[in-house]
Amino acid sequence: MALPVPRRQSYIACLADFAAGRDTPSAFLDRCLASIETFEPTVGAFVHIEIAAARKAADASTARWRAGKPLSRIDGMPVGIKDLIETVDMPTQCGSPVYEGWRSNRDAASVLALRQAGAIILGKTVTTEFAAKVARGTRNPWDPARTPGGSSSGSAAAVGCGMLPAALGTQVIASLLRPASYCGAFGFNPTFGAINRGGSHDSLSQSAHGPIAATLADAWIVAREIADRAGGDAGYPALYGPAALPATRKPARIGLLETPGWKGADTQAKAALAGAIERIAGAGVQVCTRTDHRGIALLETLLERGGFVSYSLVNYESVWPLNAYRDRDPGKLSSFLLERLAEAEKMTPADYRALLSERTGARAAHAALADDCDALITLGAPGVAPTGLESTGDPVFNIPASYLGAPALNLPLFMIDGLPLGLQAIGAVDRDADLFGVGGWLMDQLTPV
């Protein structure tokens, strides 16, 4: 069955209509459910969905908007929660038989914050096995023969085709930005620690939570409403900046980051980025590269081992609880995870310390660019979503943001042969708001008319 062309649906764009009584959260939910009816049988973005409860919550929100008393700017917004994050009213299964049917009986910090703000938890979205590599069947809404990317597969697929205006994802390597690029959605991977991960099963030293969303405004406002209520991770400042979407800001200087992915990137993808750079430069913004900027050259060099170091750190940090699950029942872990675990168990604390130091060095090189470049840009992926559902695609362009603990945006700006590809913008640590300002300017400049 041929699917229609996917179309994102912004909730924030409707706020004025909600306030004026021309539209309601109940009607918005109906539009999401219509998209779900169209796409979900093919795409499979959800592992669990609660339609009746959502309708009831939407009606309550509609009443609040009518009374002029919405709880927040996301009151009534239907959201999806990556199934790595706990929810009181739905199972949390982490994409693994280990957690089949498991219920934590509590909301994660971010989920509770969303509810406090009036958002509607419509369902749990598919994640790969423990947010690692093994895919769980979700298809790309732009072409069901292709992967939606992973590990936030369901969140990106659902947002990309307007089943939801926003969904929570997580990223430790490439898990949020890559599927956002493949599915044609905005993705926001915040500064490490900026959104409270309490009650999520990804306590890793590079992992961050963020929204995949229909627009920049939906992404920013969802993230801010969560951070205002739940804070960040313990010991980290929560996401900050203006309450509203940061004003569009023309950058003075932008750095082009090739990353180790450049040599393997698709020709059309490179051409799309080259075209974007031409327009950026044409608007009077200086674009620096490794050939003319020593700081970028150093960072590019240090990023060469970013993938190896990131995977090694994450694998070591994942030994527990995977070893506990394996000791209980190895049959419930994929052979991929069992092999990765066995490798990681050979590492020593001294190995880990050396890798941590290496990452610290790369982060220092990135921090040194903060006052010099308003953002770094690169591709969202080496090309459009590849065919096949086994692999979730190449993470190479997405590693830098998590490795550096830096905020990054996927901007769904390119189309190649009818499939989306993102432009990625990486900001300085704790300057997430500035990155959104530049992101808005990039959208204004580069959106095809």
Binding site for a second copy (CB under 8 A): 88, 105-109, 112, 196, 198-199, 203-205, 227-228, 230-232, 234-235, 237-240, 316-317, 319-321, 323-325, 327-328, 348-350, 352-353, 356
| Angstrom distance (rounded) from CA 398 to CA 381 | 7
Shortest spacing between CB 109 and a second copy, in angstroms: 4
Partners of 411 in the β-ladder: 423
* Residue placing its CB nearer to a second copy in the complex, 28 or 316: 316
Shortest spacing between CB 51 and a second copy, in angstroms: 23
Question: DSSP assignment of 350-364, as one string?
Answer: HHHHHHHHHHHHHHH
* Residue 151 a catalytic site member: yes
Catalytic residue (one of 26, 35, 82, 124): 82
Shortest spacing between CB 88 and a second copy, in angstroms: 7
| Angstrom distance (rounded) from CA 80 to CA 169 | 9
Shortest spacing between CB 326 and a second copy, in angstroms: 11
- Pairing state between β 208-213 and 166-171: antiparallel
Partners of 72 in the β-ladder: none
* Residue placing its CB nearer to a second copy in the complex, 329 or 444: 329
At residue 254, φ and ψ (nearest 5 deg) are -125, 140
Shortest spacing between CB 198 and a second copy, in angstroms: 5
Shortest spacing between CB 249 and a second copy, in angstroms: 22
Nearest of 168, 160, 169 to residue 141 by alpha carbon: 160
* Residue placing its CB nearer to a second copy in the complex, 4 or 308: 308
* Residue placing its CB nearer to a second copy in the complex, 60 or 319: 319
Crossing angle of helices 335-344/306-317, nearest 10°? 90
Question: DSSP assignment of 248-311, as one string?
Answer: P---SEEEE---TTGGGS-HHHHHHHHHHHHHHHHTT-EEE-TTT-HHHHHHHHHHTTHHHHHH
* Residue placing its CB nearer to a second copy in the complex, 95 or 393: 95
| Angstrom distance (rounded) from CA 394 to CA 150 | 10
* Residue placing its CB nearer to a second copy in the complex, 203 or 301: 203
* Residue 96 a catalytic site member: no
Summarize the chain as % helix, strand, coil (round to 5).
Answer: 45, 15, 40
Catalytic residue (one of 175, 181, 312, 318): 175
3-state secondary structure at position 421: strand
* Residue 82 a catalytic site member: yes
3-state secondary structure at position 188: strand
Residues 6+ apart with CB under 8 A from 131: 82, 84, 94, 95, 150, 151, 152, 170, 172, 175, 201, 202
Shortest spacing between CB 349 and a second copy, in angstroms: 4
| Angstrom distance (rounded) from CA 279 to CA 222 | 30
* Residue placing its CB nearer to a second copy in the complex, 13 or 60: 60
| CA distances for 206 relative to 49, 303, 358, 370, angstroms | 29, 15, 14, 19
Catalytic residue numbers, as ranges = 82, 151, 175
